Structure 1
Amino acid sequence: MIQIALLLFGVEFVRSKFWFLGLVGIVWGALGLGVMIDGLDGELYFPLRAFGLLLLLESIVTLSVASSGVGTQRAVLFFKGGICFFVAVLILADKVYSNLLLAIIFGFTYFVIGLLAITSAWVVRFPRWRSALFSGGVQVVFAVLLVSPYPISNSATVSFFLGALMIVSGLNTVRIARRVQRLRHGTSTFELLAPRDLLSDFKQLPPEEPQPEQPEPEAPGNDPLVVHIWTPEGTASAATIPRPIINRYIAAVDAQGVISTGHAAIELSPSVYLSLYPVADIDRSPSEFFRILKATRNNDVPGTFLPDYATEVANWCDSDRKIVFHQYSRKALIEFSNNYRRQATYNLTYRNCSSSVAFALEASMDGVLSERSRRWRSVLQTLLMPELWIAAQVRKRAMTMAWTPGLVMDYARALRVIVHPVPRPWFQRIPWRGASSKSLPDKKQD
């Protein structure tokens, strides 16, 4: 979440505040260590009831704001608010059964997350998969500790769990601060999010041949940046079998057994159109399924980039979702597109159409909120936006498994709300502040 915020605030903000970021990470991690030790020594000094009240208030606010969300955003906020509300009620009840339920909930959650991390790392084999495998194993062990009666007592479950989260987030914040400190002049904050192998590939590209001088183009107007999404269900030729999550994020299957995976592209007319396809269809038979899921170099195949949206529509069909941005870094997007298109390689799980669009969108978001970063109140308002948390969760899932058109759509929508906030911010959409705003329709153009 911090990385996405730093990307939006820009390199000047990042370089001037890296020391503050590191200090916050150290203090936050130290507080977490104190909270965890407090949960282990048998005598709780942590203000558990006050924390439960704050969590209850946060859950009520989240549930109130969720009704004004769009599509998946609404579902995620309702789920997050409902879980936090249930946990807050258990904390405030402070009974033996409530402490046991908390241990089971926290332990089961971390066990599932760790198991998914281990499975996706082992199957997909994305870069740095071994560290993800180790991290997943640590989460499984942590889950077992949470539900064990010894050495952790049920009454100390919340403080132990919260302390561990604070330590991990503090260490991650310090790590980000160190990466920020090493940013060279002339670089961008996109380097904080971009995979290291992608940046190394860019650096290894041969220098471009000098082009003949051309007259300077006219200053660009308000050309919109458009993220095109062809959803699996929207591109199916017949009615699909109802499987909401699978259809949205993986693939849709119609009654005849035809599989539709969808597609994603990004357009800034007339300068950029990034739409990556494999030159030849990939064998997706069951016998080859696990092999082609691996994000290894031996699964790279030749790829091709379509020239423009008109050609894509002529060859296939119109995109059924369009997420439009009016604030973006035109220069950064064009530079990324030029570098990315020089290597026409396709990988089903690591360098596909969706990952190309996700990275291009992040490059275009570099420093778009630089004006907002000059006021601490605006910075805090941005950090407290629910959409920033949603964007971080979507990106985390995609980077540990694979980018799909559905994940790109949710990611782009969350970023759009952050960059182009609605007239009434989230804290003014709470029902008891007045007439609540109606939910925006899930339009085909957002």
Structure 2
Amino acid sequence: MLKLGLFLIGARSFAASAHYALMGGVLLIACGFLGVIVPDDQGVRIGLAILGLGLATRACVYVGGLVLHSGLTVATLILSLLFLLVSLVWMAAPVIGARPAAVALAVAFTIDGLSRLPLIALVRFERWRDGVLLASGELLLAWVLASEWLIPAYKSLALLSGISLSVSGHSLLRLALLMHNGGPFGSLHDFLTGDLRSWHREIPKGRRPECEKQSASLAVRLYIWTPKFAVAGSTSWPLVDRYLMTFGEGGKPSAGHAALGIDSDLYLSHWPVSEISAGIRDLPHVFYSGRNKDMPGLFPPSYAFECEDWIPADQCIEFRTRNADAVRAYWNAYRQNTAYNITDRNCSIVVANALELAMEGHLRTRHPWLRLARLLVHPALWQASYLRSRAHHMCWTPGLVLDYANLLKQVVEPSGRAASSLSVVRTR
């Protein structure tokens, strides 16, 4: 979440204050070590009360923001209330003790860890063992917190707080290093992306094109064909038909589609040459991401071509960007390989990468640290970071890209409208 906020503000904003990132990173890491070695539980409890107050305030802002943005669904309401409950229990640690706070946090880690494992098992991406290790680490940490195995509750909470501060400090140190090496035109996309997946190998490394500072603001249009809309007579499979695929008449599957256009000369879309045939029981086989699942792909030249060849999109989101050159460089590199893989080289992965490149530095400002502080309490940024982490343990799909883009829209253009449903007529 911190990384995404830094990325949206961009390297140019932080270039003049890279030394603050360096000092902040060192300070956070030092505080993290201090939290680990603090000797008595009373100081820890006071610290937990202060931290819990901040978390509870942020949780209230999160829930309120969801309501105001009409983004409150059953799932997000449950997650928000859990977050609020954990925060309140943590804040009450000086009165009720560290034990209830540790148990509440253990429950949160258990839910998060268990929700990641099925996604990893479904996709089995190239470094799936690392993903399992990370999820297992969450479950182990939950066990340590709940059972007080080897470490007392107050000490385990101090350890967790120290680790959290150290990770944030490491992010700021990486930012300072990037600023030192790349200057105001250094790209932060490597800083944002994780190492579990290899989706970003086509993205040019290092500096962004300097000509972007003279470029005009161009319209970015994200087109989404949702799975349920893409096939007639689709059956309802909660969550599956939103984020994976749905099945229509005769068992015809559809995972939907995503494409992105900038101005009139740049259109990003990737599609398999042959349709994928599968049933609901074949999902583990279809979503396996091994290289033996690569198939020939094609690049439709325009949205008009896709409308004529198939059907118009049912959702559209529009942004503004000055980073068209960076997106064009990425697309030129990506098209050197036509291979399509449903979980490693698909239409949604192309669009997610391109959208992030287009949004890098969109919130640049003369006061980046103040803007970052405001972003850290923005509910949509928390949700977007959560969706992004889930995509890296599964894959980007049209449903995930749609939700992610809507959340980014709330962050970078708060007065703008979210995805608009297009009035379309099915042609087949």
3-state SS in 1 of match to 2:343: coil
* Most deviating of 261-270 and 134-143: 134-143
Q: For residue 343 of structure 1, what is the amino acid of its counterpart? A: N
Q: 2:395 aligns with which of 398, 402, 407?
A: 402
Using the alignment, how far apart are the partners of 2:257 and 2:380 within structure 1? 23
Alignment partner, residue 135 of structure 1: 134
Using the alignment, how far apart are the partners of 1:353 and 1:153 within structure 2? 49
Q: For residue 62 of structure 1, what is the amino acid of its counterpart? A: Y
Change (3 A) 1:285 1:144: same
Taking only the aligned residue pairs, the percentage that are identical comes to 27
Change (3 A) 1:146 1:189: same
> Contact 1:253 / 1:260 at 8 angstroms: preserved in 2?
yes
Taking structure 2 as the reference length, the TM-score comes to 0.82
> Contact 2:260 / 2:267 at 8 angstroms: preserved in 1?
yes
Q: In the TM superposition, what whole-angstrom CA distance separates every residue of 1:63-119 from its partner, at most 9, and x where no partner exists?
A: 222211244x66676445422332244345559988555433322332343344455
Q: How does 1:204-243 map to 2 (within 5 A)?
A: 223-238=218-233, 240-241=235-236, 243=238
> Contact 2:11 / 2:187 at 8 angstroms: preserved in 1?
yes
Q: 1:303 aligns with which of 297, 307, 319?
A: 297
Q: How does 1:121-270 map to 2 (within 5 A)?
A: 121=120, 124-154=123-153, 158-179=157-178, 181-183=180-182, 187-193=186-192, 197=198, 200-201=201-202, 223-238=218-233, 240-241=235-236, 243=238, 245-254=239-248, 257-270=251-264
* Match status 1:386 vs 2:363: no
> Contact 2:174 / 2:191 at 8 angstroms: preserved in 1?
no
Using the alignment, how far apart are the partners of 1:368 and 1:441 within structure 2? 17
3-state SS in 2 of match to 1:325: strand
3-state SS in 2 of match to 1:326: strand
3-state SS in 2 of match to 1:225: strand
Change (3 A) 1:176 1:298: farther
Q: 1:444 aligns with which of 418, 421, 425?
A: 421
| CA shift for structure 1 position 321 | 1.0
Q: For residue 13 of structure 1, what is the amino acid of its counterpart? A: S
Alignment partner, residue 275 of structure 2: 281
3-state SS in 1 of match to 2:301: coil
* Most deviating of 387-396 and 281-290: 281-290
> Contact 2:219 / 2:262 at 8 angstroms: preserved in 1?
yes
Change (3 A) 1:89 1:199: closer
Using the alignment, how far apart are the partners of 1:250 and 1:77 within structure 2? 19
Q: For residue 187 of structure 2, what is the amino acid of its counterpart? A: S
Change (3 A) 1:183 1:288: farther
Using the alignment, how far apart are the partners of 1:194 and 1:158 within structure 2? 28
Using the alignment, how far apart are the partners of 1:28 and 1:192 within structure 2? 18
Alignment partner, residue 344 of structure 1: 338
Q: In the TM superposition, what whole-angstrom CA distance separates every residue of 1:409-443 from its partner, at most 9, and x where no partner exists?
A: 111112222221228xxxxxxxxxxxxxxxx7874
Q: In the TM superposition, what whole-angstrom CA distance separates every residue of 1:336-376 from its partner, at most 9, and x where no partner exists?
A: 22222222121111111100100011111233223x24465
Using the alignment, how far apart are the partners of 1:279 and 1:26 within structure 2? 51
For the aligned residue pairs, the C-alpha RMSD in angstroms reads 3.5
Alignment partner, residue 367 of structure 1: 361
Taking structure 1 as the reference length, the TM-score comes to 0.79
| CA shift for structure 1 position 127 | 4.8
Using the alignment, how far apart are the partners of 1:49 and 1:185 within structure 2? 39
> Contact 1:62 / 1:78 at 8 angstroms: preserved in 2?
no
3-state SS in 1 of match to 2:148: coil
Q: How does 1:50-89 map to 2 (within 5 A)?
A: 50-71=50-71, 78-89=77-88
Change (3 A) 1:12 1:345: same
Alignment partner, residue 407 of structure 2: 414
Change (3 A) 1:111 1:68: same
Using the alignment, how far apart are the partners of 1:303 and 1:200 within structure 2? 18
Using the alignment, how far apart are the partners of 2:361 and 2:255 within structure 1? 33
Q: 1:315 aligns with which of 309, 332, 337?
A: 309
Q: For residue 22 of structure 2, what is the amino acid of its counterpart? A: G
Using the alignment, how far apart are the partners of 1:377 and 1:92 within structure 2? 25
Change (3 A) 1:77 1:308: same
| CA shift for structure 1 position 398 | 0.7
Using the alignment, how far apart are the partners of 1:74 and 1:288 within structure 2? 29
> Contact 1:241 / 1:255 at 8 angstroms: preserved in 2?
no
Change (3 A) 1:304 1:66: same
Alignment partner, residue 107 of structure 2: 108
Using the alignment, how far apart are the partners of 2:154 and 2:291 within structure 1? 49
Structure 1: which 5+ runs fail to align? Answer: 205-218, 424-439
Q: For residue 137 of structure 1, what is the amino acid of its counterpart? A: S
